[in-house]
Structure 1
Amino acid sequence: MKLGIRSLLSFLFVALLLACGSKESSGEKKKIVIGVSMLSLQNEFIQQVSASLEKHAKDADVELIVVDAERSALKQVEQVENFISQQVDAIILNPAEFEASSPAILRARKAGIPIVNVNSSTKEKPDAWVGSDDAESAKMAIDFLAKKLNGKGNILMIQGYMGQAAQIDRERGAMEALKAYPQIKLLATQTGEWDRAKSMALMENWIQSYGDQIQGVFAHNDEMGLGAMQALMDAKKKDKVVVVSVDGIGDALKAVQAGNLDATILQNAEQQGAQAIAMALDLINKKPIKESQVLIPFQVKTQ
């Protein structure tokens, strides 16, 4: 009886080895897994980038694990540590903050896992970066305002979440661009934290403070631009104020077509997601990379 059990176990062990060998010989590969940490899935543009990542991962038969950092750099670093523990093949990071999300890059690098930044930047350099030049979007917005105002007037700037790369670069780009227009005065600038309701309240306060002195508004993203636009419409002042914002989300494009928002500076979420997946796969497969940075241009969208 004992001998029979031993023979059966030996047979099963050999069968298992043969099965494994047959899988290897047939060329069956382990599915590629990529971990993705997004700065906030409450933001419409970030949702668009995430949807593009998922679409192109599916097309490439790649498993994607997407998590929401909820604007917390600390949470984002923890999420990357979890990806490392799960031994994912690569990580795509949509950084919550320029400096505070940088430890995530260092952790991935130490673990030998390729990491790609999408849409935003960190102080520490990843293996690759895919996005758009945020300073360029601000210059395009200021140039648009200057043209509409004939080079003269008072404007306001609503900034994004302080410390995030897009906020830093769009502020820098705007301030550089304003040097070319000495007769355009920046009355005030404050953060709206990428949020429509907060920016609407901020604009209401500015209307109380500055009234008819306001001729233009540059908002770092469309959510904030739409909030400012609504406050101006409610105060029956929109026809005297030019509003421009960045991203090209659906609501902004509709508002532009309706003639309520003067312009949106479109950045291409679809291309950012597609290129980030392609770059991650090249790094996983150790393909030579010609350019570690993929820059996707902005476009001014008007009625």
Structure 2
Amino acid sequence: MASFDATHSGGRFSRRGFLAAGAAGIAAASLPRRLSAATPPVLVTSIRSLSNPYHAVWKQGAEAFAKSVGAEHVTLVSEGNSEKGIADIRAMLAKTGGHMVLNSDPNDTPDARPIVEAATKAKAYVVTQWNKPSDLHPWDFNPYYISHIEFDGIASGKQIAEILFKAMGGSGGIVALGGMISTTAAIERKKGLDAALAANPNIKLLDFQVANWKATEAYTITSSLLTRFGDQIKGIWAANDDMGTGALEALRGEGLQGQVPIVGIDGIKAAVDAVKSGEYAATITSDPFWQGGMGLSLGYHAAMGTFDPAKEPKDHREFYGRVTLITKDNVAEYYKTHIDAQPVIDWNDIWGRCTGQIRPS
């Protein structure tokens, strides 16, 4: 049997409650899920790793939503292993008899298909985020595959690059750190960087290296690039903040923090702190707290019959969510509302951050 890390808001997941939820799900398996209002579905989050600050906040949002509806919540972590991530989801579907809602950030783009197919077969409601094949669509798996959520990576990658170039004075060399090259976000953010470079001929890309979203890899790579290029490096572009803060540690080791601007994406606390201190020029956040809670809210409301996914327009089934740019101009306010305090979110406003249908790739 696949192993998984099952936790819920408030501590270890209750075995008695888990078995009860599973029994209820099995008993209701022949009925439409939305008729099971007396036994709310188990809420399940599937993410890469809780050591990643972005996913740690995602889990907090999931727990906040679960608490708001009094439902059980389980977190599954793949630790970057696609086989484990898919196996753990299948194990949870079996244990709950399919009476569950899944909010999944697939480890890799191809992983979304077996996850969606397994959930649909079990009549469990599922939302995916960030990664899925372009030919996999929620409307082909009605009503159980509710929505796929992304954030416009091309626009974000381009925007942070332009801010970086401005912080550099409009000319000079940069190095860039990319995410897992097969994932949608990494591919799109690199396209955004490329577009910004094409429009700014006085900026030279000295090197682009894949650091797989990880601070440790980014630190090692940046240290090597600093040795190789020295003071030719006038800025660092990172496809996420875990890598960006890893690069920042490498700069600190050379006493260059604040002298070489960095930009990233995710809005993790370390990056927001760096924006405050002037070591970071900007970060963009998709609000992982919202992602963690709203993905479950969509599934929960569908399961409870609040809406019928099959009747929703396509721009509710595959959509870009809203992002927030964090710079020195608004970092103090952002810190007050998202770092010092837990964000206040209306979990019933399920379509409030839709900004348009995802464009075909």
Counterpart position of 2:341: none
Q: Kindly name which structure, 1 or 2, has the bigger radius of gyration based on alpha carbons.
A: 1
Which is worse superposed, 95-104 or 206-215? 95-104
The residue identity in structure 1 corresponding to 2:90 is: E
Question: Aligned partners of 2:42, 2:164: CA distance in 1, in Å?
Answer: 45
> Is 1:295 the equivalent of 2:320?
yes
Question: Aligned partners of 1:187, 1:36: CA distance in 2, in Å?
Answer: 39
User: Unaligned 5+ residue runs, structure 2?
Assistant: 1-35, 139-144, 329-361
Counterpart position of 1:202: 221
Tell me the SS of whatever aligns to 1:30. coil
2:248 alignment partner, one of 229, 236, 249 = 229
Tell me the SS of whatever aligns to 2:76. strand
Counterpart position of 1:121: 131
Counterpart position of 1:75: 84
Question: Aligned partners of 2:120, 2:189: CA distance in 1, in Å?
Answer: 28
Question: Aligned partners of 1:197, 1:34: CA distance in 2, in Å?
Answer: 32
Question: Aligned partners of 2:71, 2:94: CA distance in 1, in Å?
Answer: 19
Computed over aligned residues only, the root mean square deviation of the Cα atoms, in angstroms, reads 2.0
Counterpart position of 1:33: 42
Q: CA deviation at 1:220?
A: 1.3
Tell me the SS of whatever aligns to 2:103. strand
The residue identity in structure 2 corresponding to 1:266 is: T
Change in Cα spacing, 1:176 to 1:28, as seen in structure 2 (3 Å) is closer
> Is 1:265 the equivalent of 2:277?
no
Q: CA deviation at 1:294?
A: 4.7
Question: Aligned partners of 1:302, 1:105: CA distance in 2, in Å?
Answer: 37
Q: CA deviation at 1:55?
A: 0.9
Change in Cα spacing, 1:44 to 1:292, as seen in structure 2 (3 Å) is same
Change in Cα spacing, 1:132 to 1:69, as seen in structure 2 (3 Å) is same
Change in Cα spacing, 1:122 to 1:52, as seen in structure 2 (3 Å) is same
Tell me the SS of whatever aligns to 1:215. strand
1:152 alignment partner, one of 151, 166, 171 = 171
> Is 1:51 the equivalent of 2:76?
no
Q: CA deviation at 1:249?
A: 1.0
Q: CA deviation at 1:204?
A: 0.9
Deviations 1:24-47 (A, max 9, x none): xxx981132122211222101111
Counterpart position of 2:117: 106
Q: CA deviation at 1:184?
A: 1.7
Question: Aligned partners of 1:283, 1:175: CA distance in 2, in Å?
Answer: 40
TM-score (norm 2): 0.71
Tell me the SS of whatever aligns to 2:284. strand
Deviations 1:193-239 (A, max 9, x none): 22222211111100111111111111111121112122123223344
User: Unaligned 5+ residue runs, structure 1?
Assistant: 1-26
What is the number of equivalent residue pairs in this alignment?
276
Change in Cα spacing, 1:294 to 1:282, as seen in structure 2 (3 Å) is farther
| Aligned partners of 1:52 and 1:270 also within 8 Å | yes
The residue identity in structure 1 corresponding to 2:323 is: F
